[in-house]
Structure formats: structure tokens, C-alpha cells
Amino acid sequence: MFTFQLPSPTTLTGAIDWDGGRLDLQGTVTAGDVGQPAVMITGTGRPNTGTAEWEYDYHGRLAYRWPNDIKQVPALVGSVIRAKPHNGASAGVVASFIAIKQP
């Protein structure tokens, strides 16, 4: 689960938590290239845990908001890249991510 805080209009902090792991998040918020807010986030593992050497970079933006939606849930969509190798896995692997706002 992603948790985000916005200490300022251009700064993001937070964490990604899952059973057995956690990444701490630091990032920036910009207007983005199409006027939709965009985020650049670095997720780093915690010392003395199973994620200690991990580092992932995330780029995302708010999903399109349909003008005639019915109860559309805000979502952050984007891609993530493994920035550093860890546990025998190479850096450079890319995947998609979706973070959906919880009530």
C-alpha cells in the first residue's frame, strides 16, 4: 500500500508497505507536460531490513478525470524502474504501477 504526504505543494514523502517489506519515499510534484500534476519519486529500502539495498524510481501522473464520471476514484498511474540491483536481480527492469486513493 502506498501512503503519501505532501509537506509542500512541490514535495512528496511517504512509504510503500507490503507483508515483509517497506520502501521510504521522497519525491517532487510538478505541473507535468500536459498540465496534469506529475510526480518523480525515489523509493529506498530501510537499513537492517530485507529491503536495505533496494532503490526504485517512480514517475507518475494523475489518471485522466472523465468529465461525466460517476464516482471515479482518483488514481496515480505510471512506471517504475529498479534503479539499483539487489538480491541477484539486475537494475533497469521497468514495470507499471497504479496507486488508487482509498476512502
pTM above 0.85, yes or no: yes
Identify the sign of the CA torsion 30, 34, 56, 75. Answer: positive
Residue 33: its pLDDT value, please? 73
Q: What is the pLDDT of residues 52-95, one digit of tens each?
A: 999 999 999 989 889 999 999 999 999 999 999 998 999 999 99
Q: Which domain holds residue 53?
A: 2-100
Burial class (CB in 10 A: 0-12, 13-18, 19+), 99: buried
For the beta carbon of residue 54, count every other beta carbon within 10 angstroms. Answer: 21
The answer on pLDDT for 103 being more than 80 is no
Q: How many structural domains compose the chain? A: 1
Q: What is the pLDDT of residues 1-41, one digit of tens each?
A: 888 999 998 999 999 998 888 999 999 999 877 777 899 99
